[in-house]
Amino acid sequence: MPTSTEVREIAFRHGQVKKRNNAIVAVLSGALPGVTLTFYFPSNWERWLLGLVIGLLWGNAFEYAYHRWLLHRPRSPLGKGHLEHHAHVGTPEEPEHVSLGKSPLHIAVLFASNGIVVILIDLLLGLWITPGIFVGWTVYLITAEEIHWRIHLNGWLPPGLSASLVLITWPITIFLIPAITSFCRSSTCCWETAVHDVSPRG
């Protein structure tokens, strides 16, 4: 019978594989189509940058709404799966249940469903910002999942985003600060819910 340390090491490896696969699918479902669409949409750097910003904000708003109103809705099928994530907080199996999607297929469906909406709206309005939006989603998802992973597993995070990180990625970090804040709040909410759900009754 494996010890708790061995179980945690196995769960950690499985969790890392899930996170890596989610990132690969995000690049294939978001960044790759985004770059490809650049050759078909009349675009320039201003539209590309605007799309990137909208993609980051859209990703943050979508994640917040999805987490707040669907995953935490009582007796929701989505909520039941999410409670499994809460139930494993502090256990040796926790790393295996930290990823944002149950499988890479969920990530692909997420990009496809949002992507269809964006392409239709963009074609209708003629804004030509879809390529940047797709890349923004990719950056957001990979960054958000990494932050989520490190929050749960006490990994290193730059305090307030270190100066070096801000200097390297200043155009992006301006819009990632709300995302990080959202995840910190979500994690606090998750922790409180998890403690409430697993604490002894009565």
Supply the pLDDT for residue 86. Answer: 60
pLDDT tens across the length of the chain (202 residues): 778 888 788 888 988 999 999 999 999 999 999 999 999 888 898 999 999 999 999 998 888 887 777 776 666 666 666 666 665 676 767 777 777 777 889 899 999 999 999 999 999 999 999 999 999 999 999 998 888 788 777 777 777 643 334 333 433 444 444 544 554 454 444 434 433 443 333 3
> Which residues neighbour 128 within 8 Å (Cβ) at sequence distance 6 or greater?
41, 42, 43, 47, 122
Supply the pLDDT for residue 5. Answer: 82
> Which residues neighbour 77 within 8 Å (Cβ) at sequence distance 6 or greater?
none
Q: Residue 113's closest CA among 143, 78, 137?
A: 137
Distances (CA, A) of 198 to 28, 90, 102, 145: 38, 11, 22, 24
C-beta of residue 99 within 8 angstroms of C-beta of residue 23: no
Taking the alpha carbons at both ends of the chain, their separation in whole angstroms is: 33
Distance between CA atoms of 150 and 148, rounded to whole angstroms? 6
Backbone angles phi, psi at 111, to 5 degrees: -65, -40
Q: Residue 83 is encoded by which pair of tokens?
A: 């409670």
Supply the pLDDT for residue 1. Answer: 74
The enclosing H or E element of 169 equals: helix 163-198
Residue boundaries of the structural domains of the chain: 4-198
Supply the pLDDT for residue 35. Answer: 94
pTM of the model: 0.72
H helical segments located in 27-162: 32-38, 45-65, 77-87, 104-125, 130-152
> Which residues neighbour 92 within 8 Å (Cβ) at sequence distance 6 or greater?
4, 5, 7, 8, 11
Kindly report each contact of residues 108-117 with a partner whose C-beta sits within 8 Å and lies 24 or more positions away, as own/partner.
108/25, 108/28, 108/29, 111/26, 111/29, 111/30, 111/33, 111/137, 112/29, 114/58, 114/62, 115/29, 115/30, 115/33
Supply the pLDDT for residue 63. Answer: 83
